[in-house]
């Protein structure tokens, strides 16, 4: 079986967020998909099968299947439009989060994702101990979103992974207003066996709704300030968020099992 590794939300190899992508003729057993994911040991491995005119898409972390992943969706669209169906410029994915459409526009891949509804929650001492700094505010969607005072705080953050694992929410998203970008962020996912996700598309389905409302603008450029780094071009549309980014191929391989 052919597998591609694509760096998403970047135009340079070794940047952005790497995702493994397998576009298959038919589904393999879930335990096999999980074994492949653990062998890859990336934050996400995406599996897709053509079903009618759409593709069914599933995302797996080393800790299990998840309901939404941005960078692996971008990576899968990159693989399909470059290697599988080079004549197409739009890919429709049936997923656990409903229908997701990705449109190729030059070097950018534009993804239409659902926004997470954010509920303001109390900043607790458990959050302070886990994050290592007291957030200004905290919100809950699928993930816990913590608002910090400055970009420097986001960049220098070194959270306690064991304590993050005990917080509510699937991932921990931390964000602040940026100097060169509208917002900067980092994503931590010890519950998925991923200490830090280099560029988290689904995390921006929390981050962009917050900053769009706070800044009073719908078009934002976001930067994920991980060691690898990544840029997302975003448009807030209320119950939807459009996320655009670039991608570059790192490797291709044949899986033998």
Domain ranges of the chain: 2-114+243-254, 119-240
Task: Provide the whole-model pTM.
Answer: 0.92
If you classify domain 2-114+243-254 with CATH, what class do you get?
Answer: alpha beta
Q: How far apart are the first and last CA of the chain?
A: 9
Cα–Cα distance, 19 to 4 (Å, whole number): 8
| Strands of 78-152, DSSP E | 90-95, 98-105, 108-114, 119-121, 137-140, 144-147
Residue tagged active-site, from 26, 39, 44, 51: 44
Cα–Cα distance, 64 to 93 (Å, whole number): 20
pLDDT of 109 reads 97
Q: How confident is the model at residue 257 (pLDDT cuts 50, 70, 90)?
A: confident
Cα–Cα distance, 25 to 29 (Å, whole number): 13
- Reported as a single tens digit per residue, the pLDDT across 221-244 is 999 999 999 999 999 999 999 999
Q: What is the CATH number of domain 119-240?
A: 3.10.310.10
- Reported as a single tens digit per residue, the pLDDT across 35-53 is 999 999 999 999 999 999 9
- Reported as a single tens digit per residue, the pLDDT across 121-172 is 999 999 999 999 999 999 999 999 999 999 999 999 999 999 999 999 999 9
What is residue 152's three-state secondary structure?
helix
Structure tokens given for 245: 């980014």
Note whether 2-114+243-254 and 119-240 share their fold: yes
- Reported as a single tens digit per residue, the pLDDT across 184-207 is 999 999 999 999 999 999 999 999
Residue 235 annotated among the catalytic residues of the structure: no
pLDDT of 94 reads 98
pLDDT, mean over the chain = 97
Phi, psi of 134 (to 5 degrees): -80, 115
Give the DSSP H/E element, type plus range, for residue 212. helix 204-215
Phi, psi of 252 (to 5 degrees): -130, 150
Mean pLDDT of the 11-32 span: 97
pLDDT of 27 reads 98
Cα–Cα distance, 143 to 187 (Å, whole number): 10
Mean pLDDT of the 94-113 span: 95
Cα–Cα distance, 243 to 215 (Å, whole number): 18
- Region label for 231, one of left (φ > 0), alpha (ψ between -120 and 50) or beta (otherwise): beta
pLDDT of 32 reads 97
Could you tell me what percentage of the chain is helix, strand and coil, using 3-state DSSP and rounding each to the nearest 5?
Answer: 25, 45, 35
């Amino acid at each position: 079986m052919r597998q591609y590794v694509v760096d998403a939300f970047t135009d340079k190899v070794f940047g952005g967020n790497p995702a493994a992508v397998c576009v298959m003729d038919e589904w393999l057993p879930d335990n096999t998909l999980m074994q492949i994911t653990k062998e890859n040991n990336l934050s996400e491995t995406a599996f897709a099968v053509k079903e009618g005119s759409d593709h069914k898409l599933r995302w797996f972390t080393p800790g299990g299947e998840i309901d939404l992943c941005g960078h692996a969706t971008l990576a899968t669209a990159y693989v399909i439009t470059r290697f599988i169906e080079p004549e197409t410029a739009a890919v429709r994915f049936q997923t656990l989060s409903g229908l997701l459409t990705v449109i190729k526009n030059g070097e950018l891949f534009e993804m239409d994702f659902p926004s997470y509804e954010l509920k303001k929650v109390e900043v607790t001492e458990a959050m302070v101990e886990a994050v290592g700094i007291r957030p200004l505010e905290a919100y809950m969607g699928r993930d816990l979103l913590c608002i910090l005072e400055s970009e420097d705080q986001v960049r220098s953050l070194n959270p306690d992974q064991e304590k993050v694992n005990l917080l509510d929410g699937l991932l921990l998203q931390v964000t602040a207003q940026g100097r060169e970008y509208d917002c900067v962020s980092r994503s931590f996912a010890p519950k998925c066996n991923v200490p830090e996700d280099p560029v988290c598309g689904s995390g921006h389905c929390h981050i962009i709704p917050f900053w769009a409302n706070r800044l009073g603008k719908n078009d934002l450029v976001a930067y994920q300030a991980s060691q690898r780094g990544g840029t997302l071009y975003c448009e807030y549309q209320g119950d939807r968020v459009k996320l655009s980014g670039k991608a570059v191929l790192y490797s291709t391989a044949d899986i033998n099992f």
